Amino acid sequence: MAKILIVEDNQLNLELSRDILTFNGHEVEHAEDCEACLSKVDAFMPDLILMDIGLPGISGVDCFKLLRQKSGFDKVPVLAFTASVMPDEIKKITDTGFSGLIEKPIRVSTFLSTINDALEVK
């Protein structure tokens, strides 16, 4: 299956998403903020990144922009992972260029289908 990096600072969201992904055969690594994400991607080489938007310090949107500047990561699918479902926030996220969006709280069926769709496009 795929190697997936979860960038998430909330322990409950991390555990649930990690458990669903590992149960479905994916290899999962975790970063709690943007700095950890940027340092882990080179060694882990993920097939997909699940990026929390409300990260401490550097936001998920800004982290996505920094990630796209790294050599070799301009085509890796990055899904926004957010509880913010206000239309203006969703537009800002989609306009940034994320490969898709997963809303919190997680709905297992849509969570997995969004992950699988992003991996297929890759």
Picking from 12, 16, 70, the residue whose alpha carbon sits closest to that of residue 43 is 70
Q: Say what the pLDDT of residue 93 is.
A: 87
Q: 4-48: per-residue pLDDT in tens?
A: 999 999 999 999 999 999 999 999 999 999 999 999 999 999 999
Q: 54-113: per-residue pLDDT in tens?
A: 999 999 999 999 999 998 898 999 999 999 878 888 888 889 999 999 999 999 989 999
Q: Say what the pLDDT of residue 112 is.
A: 96
Q: How far apart are CA 87 and CA 90, in angstroms?
A: 5
Model pTM above 0.85: yes
The parent domain of residue 70 ranges over: 3-121
Q: Say what the pLDDT of residue 28 is.
A: 98
Q: Say what the pLDDT of residue 122 is.
A: 64
The domain tally of the chain equals: 1
Looking at residue 30, its amino acid is: H
What is the three-class DSSP state of 96? helix
Given pLDDT bands bounded at 50, 70 and 90, which one contains residue 49? very high
Q: How far apart are CA 34 and CA 55, in angstroms?
A: 7
CATH number for the domain including 59? Answer: 3.40.50.2300
Q: How far apart are CA 51 and CA 82, in angstroms?
A: 8
Point out the least confidently predicted range of 1-5, 21-25, 118-122.
Answer: 118-122
